[in-house]
C-alpha cells in the first residue's frame, strides 16, 4: 500500500491566476509549518513541483525525511494568457470561455494554456511513476491546488465539476491511499 500525503504549498497572497509563474510562498507561519511537519510520517519521502513556492514549502517541512528531486510535472495548471490576471479581467474579456473553463472542466483551455484534462494526464503520469518507483512507501508531495484536485478526482472517480467543489487550503494535507483500490482519507486537513 502506498500513501500519498498531498500538501499544498504556503500562500503567495496573489489575487490573480497563478499557475506556472514562480511566485514565492509566505512561510512566516512557523507554528503551522511545525504542525504540518509533525503530522506527516517521519519516514516518508518528500518531493515537490519545481516552482519555488512548492520547493521552499517542502524544505520547510522536510526535517530528516529523504528528499527526491523536484518534478516539473507536478506544477500547477498552466493558465496561459490568463496567468497573473484577475478573475474579473478574464471574465470581462471572454465571459463564455471563463465560465466554461470553471463550470465544465475538461477540454476547455485558456488561450495558450492547459485544459483540465491536460493537467490531469500530466499529473497522473507523474504520480504513477512515483508510485511505481516507490511502492509501499509514504510520499509527501508538496504541490498545488490543481495537482491535489487531480488525485482527489482520480481516487473518488468524480467529474470535473464535483472535483472543483473541494476546497484545498494552503498548508493543508489531503491523504490518498493506493492499494487494490484508490481511497481518500481527509481532504484539506489543516494539522
> Which residue among 5, 70, 76, 78 is the active-site one?
76
> Known catalytic residue: 89?
no
10 Å Cβ neighbour count for 90? 20
The C-alpha cell at 133 is: 518507483
Strands 45-48 and 66-67: parallel
> Known catalytic residue: 9?
yes
Cα three-residue angle 167-168-174, rounded to 5 degrees: 115
Contacts of 101 (CB under 8 A, 6+ apart): 108, 109, 110, 116
Residues assigned a catalytic role? 9, 76
Amino acid at each position: 500500500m502506498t500513501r500519498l500525503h498531498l500538501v499544498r504549498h504556503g500562500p503567495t497572497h496573489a489575487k490573480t491566476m497563478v499557475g506556472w509563474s514562480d511566485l514565492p510562498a509566505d512561510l512566516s507561519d512557523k507554528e503551522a509549518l511545525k504542525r504540518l511537519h509533525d503530522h506527516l510520517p517521519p519516514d516518508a519521502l518528500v518531493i515537490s513541483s519545481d516552482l519555488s513556492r512548492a520547493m521552499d514549502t517542502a524544505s520547510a517541512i522536510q526535517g530528516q525525511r529523504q528528499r527526491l528531486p523536484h518534478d516539473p510535472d507536478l506544477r500547477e495548471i498552466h493558465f496561459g494568457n490568463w496567468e497573473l490576471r484577475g478573475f474579473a479581467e478574464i471574465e470581462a474579456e471572454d465571459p463564455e470561455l471563463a465560465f466554461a473553463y470553471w463550470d465544465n472542466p475538461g477540454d476547455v483551455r485558456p488561450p495558450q494554456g492547459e485544459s483540465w484534462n491536460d493537467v490531469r494526464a500530466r499529473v497522473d503520469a507523474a504520480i504513477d511513476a512515483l508510485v511505481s518507483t516507490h511502492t509501499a512507501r509514504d510520499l509527501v508531495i508538496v504541490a498545488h491546488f490543481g495537482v491535489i484536485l487531480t488525485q482527489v478526482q482520480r481516487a473518488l472517480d468524480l467529474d470535473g465539476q464535483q472535483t472543483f467543489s473541494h476546497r484545498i487550503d494552503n498548508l493543508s494535507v489531503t491523504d490518498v491511499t493506493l492499494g487494490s483500490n484508490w481511497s481518500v482519507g481527509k481532504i484539506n486537513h489543516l494539522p
